[in-house]
Structure 1
Amino acid sequence: MEQSKSDQVRVDIEYCTVCNSKPQCIELSRLIKQRVPGAHVKCTTGRRGSFEVQINDTLVHSKLGSLAFPDYEEVIANVIAARQGQPVKKVKEQPITDCVLQ
């Protein structure tokens, strides 16, 4: 079954090479393509400290603003919503797992 243009979703991810964020971009891209076949995901090198995620030209996450990576499951949920013609919204940051209080 071929997708109509209205079903196609474009995800643009800008990442920082200085911070070595390419692996995160590749992983998020893989997860999106796995869960949302037909989504067009593009990873692009960008500004220092960046990991900016746009869905159909709407910014849903900015590492420059939050200093954290996005919650991948929320990004995927937004891609699914966009494919269904629903609005997208800002996503939460990934929980910090390497900080333990004692």
Structure 2
Amino acid sequence: MQWMVWTVPTTIFFSAIAAILAGMTAWEVVSPTVERKGLLPIATTRGDRLFIGLLSSAYIHLFVVGFTDITIWLALAVSIVWMLVLMRWG
């Protein structure tokens, strides 16, 4: 049986996602969310906006890697800004 080799960046990535999910769960327990309509054309909860943000960040990275010569660090910066905007005003 072969095991997956976890590199440091992979470990950091999945640990960050786990920490975000744990934080969102604690936030939901302390302060239950209500649906609201903002920047997005649908009513969303915090969890919906997190999911949409993570998915769209993946697409931003795929676009940068596949179609441009831009550094991946710029894609990361754009993704973080997009996630903050989406969570706040989405």
TM-score (structure 1 length as normaliser):
0.30
TM-score (structure 2 length as normaliser):
0.33
Task: Return the structure number with greater strand share.
Answer: 1
Task: Return the structure number with greater helix share.
Answer: 2
Please say which structure displays the higher CA radius of gyration. 2
